[in-house]
Structure 1
C-alpha cells in the first residue's frame, strides 16, 4: 500500500474537533497517529489525507457509516489515546479477524503486552454491538470474576466518557443485570454485555429472546490453574460443556491468552483445529518470531529494546513461555516432551530373538474420588543388550477400582497376554493381592521400592531419551502427561507402574543373564551330541512299502 503522510497539526485538529476526552489507560496500544495512518492506508479512498480528515470532521453520517462497517476504523476514530506506539501487522490482522463473519472460532495466542485484550476484549464487544455485526448478547469470560469485571469497567468507562462515541453512536445506559452479576445493558441496541468467571455456570442465560452470540474468553487460565491435568480438564470441560453450548447457532468464540502449558485450553483447541475435529483458526504471535524478526517494532525497535524487556521480566522460563511462546521445561523437570520416542506398529519378534511381556502394576484399591488410581502398564520387550527395546502397549489401565474389580482386571490381562509376568509394587495390604495372585498360579513378583519416586524416574530417564523405551502414538497420553509433568501433576500412579516394571525387570535380567559363546561349528569342532545317520537307500523304502500293502490289503506277495 502507498505511504500516506499525515501531518501532526492535522491530527491535533482532528482530536480537538472530535471532542475526544483523554483517558488514562495502563494498557495502551500505540502512538496516536499510527493506527489512524494505517486506517487511511486501508481505506484507499483518497491519497490526500487532509481531505479525508476534513470529511471525518464535517460529515457525521459518513463517519458513522465508516466506523460501523470497519472495526479497524472504529478503533482509530474513537480510541486514539490507546495509541502510544506505531502498530504492527499482527495487530492489523486481529482487526481483520474480528471483522470476519465466516470465522466461528478464533484462538489467539500472543505475547504479553501485545494489545490483544485492548483490541479484542475492550474495543471489539462495543463495535460488535454498534457496528455491522449487530450482536445482542456478549459474554466476556476471565479466570476470576474480578478480572472479568475489570474488562467490563474499561468498556463502561468508554461508554460514559468518550464524547465522540456517545455523540455518534449513543446514548448509552448501564444497569445491573438480574442474575446478580455485573453487566452492561444498552437499550438503544437492545444489547447486553455479561462478565463471568471461569467455571461459572451460564446455562440458559439470555438477553430477552437472544442467547449469547459472541463469547470472548480472555486469560481464563494462569500458571497455577494449568499445573495439573485435573485443573486443565476442568477448564476445558467448562469451556466445551458450559460456555460454548450457551451460545446460539452462528455465535462466535474468541479465545485469547498466551502459552502457559502444552496442554492448556488454547493448546487443546489448537490441536483439535489442526486435526480437523473443530472448525476455527489458530494464530500465534511471539514477540520475536523463529526467523529473529521483532513483530512489534513500533514498541520494540531493535534487539536492544528486546533485551531490556527481557531483563525487566527477569525470569527465563516466563520469558520463553509467555513472550517467545516456546514450550520449555521447568528447571527440575526430568522428562521433557522432546525425549519421548514413538512407534507406529509393534514389531514381530524375529526367530531366536529374546521376547517377553511384563506388566507393571501400581495398586490403589479404593473408589474414593480422592484416592489414587490403580494402574497397569503392559510392556513388550524385544532383544537384549544394546539391541533391546521396551514397547509400552496401548492397553493401559488407569482408573479407581475396588479390590474385586482389581483382581478381575488382573485375571483378564493374565488371560489376554497368555500368562505374562506381573511386577506389583507392594506396601502393607497390597502384599495380600500378590499372595492371592500367586495362589491362582500367576507369575507375579511383589516389589518393595527402596528409593523415592523421583530417583526411580531418573533411573529410567536415559532409556526414555535414547529410545530404548518407546510409546504408542495413541493410548499412552496420560502416561506421557505424568512423565512430562512429574512433580507438578496431581497423579503419578502411571509413572510408578512404569518404573516398577522397567527397573525390576532390569534387575531380574541381570541376575539371570547368560553369555552365548557360539556353536560347535563356529569353533570348528564336530558336535558330539549330534547323531550321524546314514541316508536311507531305495531298498529300505521299498520294503516298507511292501509291508504297508500287506497290512492294508490282506494279501501277501
Structure 2
C-alpha cells in the first residue's frame, strides 16, 4: 500500500504485480485490502484525493488501473508471466506473498519448479529497474526463502544476523517484535502448545522465522559437505581425486560470491577407489521413479565423494548403454544393482556385448533383506560424521535427503547401493612410498604426477 501511495504522490505510475499461491487467493487477500483502503480510508482521501472505483480506469477482480495509470494486478504462482505487460509497461515491482505453504513444499521437484519459475518467468518479466520482494516464512530447506537467502545478489533484511524477522527480539528482556499485536507472553504460550504436540518446528517457522529439524528429519543440512574436483588416473590406472575446493553447507552463499576463499592452497591428489550403485526404474511413464546410476570415490579414511550421477526415466536398453558408458569412464571396483529382472537383463546384455565387458558385482545378485528405510537410516552416521561430499549442482540428491522420509528417493537409493561394498584404495601404500622417497632424496622437481612406483 505504501508503494502505491508513493507512486500516486510522485507520479511514477508504478506497475505492481501481487503474486500468491493462486491468483484467487492473492486477489482476495491483497487486492481486496488495497481496494478497501482506496475506497473507505478517510485519511488517504484527505491526503491523496479520491482514487476509488469512481475515478479508476479499471476496477476488476484481478487488476485495477487507477486514474493516473498506476496498475495493481494479481497472479498465481507458476502462471505464465514472461512478456506480461499492460499499457505497454512491464511490472516495476513484484511482491510474492506466502506463495509456498506446507502443501506445495512436499516434494523437491515442486520446490525446484517454484525456483525455476521465479528465475525463468518472474524475474525476466520485470521492468529494467524493477524489483522482486518475497514475503514468507521458511517452510523447508529447499523452499524459496532459504534458497534466496543463500543466493548471490539477493538481500534478506531482518532483525537477526543473516536476515529474517524473529517475533522475539530479546529473550532476557522478554521483548517481542510487535508487542501490541503479539506480546512475549503469548508467544511463549504458543511455543508450549506446539511443543506439547511435537510440532515445535511449525512454531519456529511461523513465529521465529527459523527452520529447526523435526524428529523425523534424519539428514540435516548442517551435515552436508561439498567439494570441487575431478577424477584422474596415473599411467598404471590408479585413481586419484584432484580436489581444489572444500566447503560446508553453511558456507554456500559465501562460496557462490567468492569461491577463491575455499580454494585449497594447492590441489590435493587424493588416492581413491570408485563404486557404483544402480537403481533401475520399472516404468517410463510421467510420475514414475527415475532410474539412477550413482558412483562414489572413496578415500583411505572412507570419505565418500559423489561423482556426477545419472537420473532419468529411460528404457532398459538406454540404461544399459549409460551403465556401460559410466563403467568405462569411472572404472568402479564394484557395481551393485537392485535385485530384480533388470539385473539379469543388464548382466546378459553386457556379457553378450561386442566389448565382452565384465563388471565386478554385476553378476552377483544383490538381495536386500532389510527394508529400504532401514538401509537408508544406516547411512545417517556417514553424513553426521561429515564423510559424504557432494559436487555442485547435485540438487536431486540433496532434495532426497532433506525430504526423507517423504518424497522420492531415487538418487538416495543409488547412493545406498554404491556404499554396499566400499573399501579404501589399494594404491595408498604406493603413494606413501613415493612421498617418503621424495623426502629422502630431497628433490623438489621429483614428479608429482603419480607416474612411478617404487
Shorter-chain TM band: 0.7 to 0.9
Does structure 2 conserve the Cα–Cα contact (< 8 Å) formed by 1:373 and 1:398? yes
SS of residue matched to 2:344: helix
Richer in strand (by share): 2
The reply to whether residue 234 of structure 1 matches residue 113 of structure 2 is yes
Does structure 2 conserve the Cα–Cα contact (< 8 Å) formed by 1:343 and 1:470? no
- The aligned residue for residue 421 of structure 2 is 505
Deviation at 1:221, TM superposition (A): 0.8
The reply to whether residue 414 of structure 1 matches residue 327 of structure 2 is yes
- The aligned residue for residue 544 of structure 1 is none
TM-score, length-normalised on structure 1?
0.60
Which structure is larger by alpha-carbon Rg, 1 or 2?
A: 1
Taking the aligned partners of 1:358 and 1:301, their CA distance within structure 2 comes to 55
CA deviation digits over 1:340-385, x for unaligned, max 9?
3445668959xxx9963210111126543322211111122334xx
Taking the aligned partners of 1:176 and 1:497, their CA distance within structure 2 comes to 59
SS of residue matched to 2:123: helix
SS of residue matched to 1:261: coil
- The aligned residue for residue 71 of structure 1 is none
Taking the aligned partners of 1:272 and 1:207, their CA distance within structure 2 comes to 30
Taking the aligned partners of 1:228 and 1:334, their CA distance within structure 2 comes to 16
Does structure 2 conserve the Cα–Cα contact (< 8 Å) formed by 1:137 and 1:193? yes
Q: Which of 71, 77, 86 in structure 2 is aligned with 1:192?
A: 71
Does structure 1 conserve the Cα–Cα contact (< 8 Å) formed by 2:38 and 2:51? yes
Q: Which of 189, 214, 231 in structure 2 is aligned with 1:330?
A: 214
Taking the aligned partners of 1:238 and 1:482, their CA distance within structure 2 comes to 21
CA deviation digits over 1:283-307, x for unaligned, max 9?
4111235986745263389754431
Does structure 2 conserve the Cα–Cα contact (< 8 Å) formed by 1:379 and 1:390? no
- The aligned residue for residue 141 of structure 1 is 19
Taking the aligned partners of 1:238 and 1:355, their CA distance within structure 2 comes to 39
Deviation at 1:219, TM superposition (A): 0.7
Deviation at 1:281, TM superposition (A): 4.8
- The aligned residue for residue 471 of structure 1 is 389
Taking the aligned partners of 1:262 and 1:381, their CA distance within structure 2 comes to 28
- The aligned residue for residue 221 of structure 1 is 100
CA deviation digits over 1:496-542, x for unaligned, max 9?
1122222x316xx7xxxxxxxxxxxxxxxxxxxxxxxxxxxxxxxxx
- The aligned residue for residue 399 of structure 1 is 312
Deviation at 1:160, TM superposition (A): 0.8
* Residues paired across the two proteins, number: 369
Does structure 1 conserve the Cα–Cα contact (< 8 Å) formed by 2:334 and 2:421? no
CA deviation digits over 1:213-234, x for unaligned, max 9?
1111111111121221111122
- The aligned residue for residue 554 of structure 1 is none
SS of residue matched to 2:99: coil
CA deviation digits over 1:439-464, x for unaligned, max 9?
53222233222222211111222232
- The aligned residue for residue 167 of structure 2 is 287
Moved more, 423-432 or 230-239: 423-432
The reply to whether residue 182 of structure 1 matches residue 99 of structure 2 is no
- The aligned residue for residue 250 of structure 1 is 129
Taking the aligned partners of 2:46 and 2:289, their CA distance within structure 1 comes to 62
Matches within 5 A, 1:490-529: 491-502=408-419, 504-505=420-421
| Unaligned ranges ≥5, structure 1 | 1-122, 510-557
SS of residue matched to 2:368: coil
Does structure 1 conserve the Cα–Cα contact (< 8 Å) formed by 2:306 and 2:391? no
CA deviation digits over 1:258-288, x for unaligned, max 9?
1111111122222223xxxx35454411123
Change (3 A) 1:354 1:128: closer
Change (3 A) 1:465 1:311: closer
Richer in helix (by share): 1
Does structure 1 conserve the Cα–Cα contact (< 8 Å) formed by 2:170 and 2:176? no
The reply to whether residue 431 of structure 1 matches residue 344 of structure 2 is yes
Taking the aligned partners of 1:133 and 1:259, their CA distance within structure 2 comes to 36
Does structure 1 conserve the Cα–Cα contact (< 8 Å) formed by 2:23 and 2:62? no
Change (3 A) 1:134 1:292: farther
Deviation at 1:392, TM superposition (A): 2.7
Change (3 A) 1:227 1:465: same
Change (3 A) 1:289 1:465: farther
| Unaligned ranges ≥5, structure 2 | 159-163, 231-238, 242-269, 424-454
